Amino acid sequence: MATCPQGHASGSDDYCDVCGSQMGAAPPAAPAAQPAGDASGGAPAQESCPICRTPRAGQFCEVCGHDYSGSGPAVPLPVTGARYEAVTAADRAYYEKVIAEGGPDADAVAFPPYCPERSFGLHGEQVRIGRRSRARNLAPEIDLTGPPEDPGVSHLHAVLLAQPDGSWTVVDPGSANGTQVNGKPLKVNVPVRIGPGDRIHLGAWTVITIREGTP
């Protein structure tokens, strides 16, 4: 009994009566190497952004704008105390500018008569800025829900991202009303480096000042 190139025993000597392969054909080439996957032979693990850990969906990270074309292996971030802190407050000059420019619902937004400063230490790899939402299961590290509450702040308005050298950048993932750093509007998903003394404006009257923290 003949054997076909696929290894089947066939009673026919011209075409395999199991798979139909021609009996005199050359054996099939070895299969090409498959991309590395998990131990069970499944699909390759999805790549994540080395900066903010968002699953990759293209050349640029959808959250922080990281460019994968020039990226190397992720560099572990140092585990330290809060080198910097973010101090939130109300800025009347910024509020008056927003009202003068006719911002969203400007006529319905009032400047808060009292808004205490609040300090947030910058820890970990990312610090989200926004307003908490039970429906979205969102609890940002810098929670601007209030009181007083700035209605111009999105639930996820901006994100502070730690860098391997200990510095920080800020990125606006696409907030409704935009974000400014030292008076300059941020482009969506384009991170901007920040440091002590820098002022981040968002919403109708909120200002976040970066200061030196406790090492």
Tens of pLDDT along 50-88? 666 677 766 555 555 556 665 433 344 444 457 899 999
Tell me, yes or no, whether 70 and 127 share the same domain. no
Question: What residues form DSSP beta bridges with 2?
Answer: 10
Instruction: Say how far apart CA 10 and CA 8 lie, in whole Å.
Output: 6
pLDDT of residue 46: 74
Is a pLDDT exceeding 70 seen at residue 175? yes
* Per-chain mean pLDDT for the chain: 79
Based on the domain organization, do 108 and 201 belong to the same domain?
Answer: yes
> Residue 165 falls within a domain, yes or no?
yes
Residues 112 and 186 in one domain: yes
Q: Domain of 142: which CATH number?
A: 2.60.200.20
Same domain, 89 and 175: yes
pLDDT tens digits along 114-135: 999 999 999 999 999 999 988 8
Asked if the structure places residue 20 within a domain, the reply is no
CB distance 58 to 189 below 8 Å: no
User: Residue 73 has what pLDDT?
Assistant: 38
Q: Whole domain around residue 65: which residue ranges?
A: 43-74
* 106 and 129 part of one domain: yes
Residue 17 lies in a domain: no
Residues 6+ apart with CB under 8 A from 186: 158, 170, 171, 172, 178, 179, 180, 192
Q: What is the pLDDT of residue 32?
A: 46
Q: Is 191 within the bounds of a domain? A: yes
Task: Please indicate, yes or no, whether residues 189 and 91 belong to a single structural domain of this protein.
Answer: yes
End residue of a domain, out of 74, 96, 122: 74
Residue 203 placed within a domain: yes
Q: Do 68 and 155 share a structural domain? A: no
> Which CATH number goes with the domain that contains 55?
2.20.28
Report the domain count for the chain. Answer: 2
**What percentage of the chain carries pLDDT values higher than 70?**
64
Instruction: For residue 90, tell me if it sits in a domain.
Output: yes
Average pLDDT estimate for 134-149: 90
112 lies in the same domain as 58: no
Domain match, 138 and 70 both? no
The DSSP secondary-structure symbol of 108 reads G
pLDDT of residue 185 exceeding 60, the answer is yes
Indicate the pTM of the whole model.
0.63
The residue among 134, 147, 26 whose CA lies nearest residue 90 is 147
Examine residue 27 and state whether it is found in any structural domain, yes or no: no
Does 93 map to a domain?
yes
pLDDT score of 201: 98
82-103 per-residue burial string, b: 16 or more CB within 10 A, e: under 16: bbbbbebebbeebbeebbeeeb
- Say if CB 177 and CB 202 are below 8 A apart: yes
Same domain, 116 and 68: no
Q: Give the pLDDT band of residue 4 (cuts 50, 70, 90).
A: confident
Whether residue 141 sits in one domain with residue 120:
yes
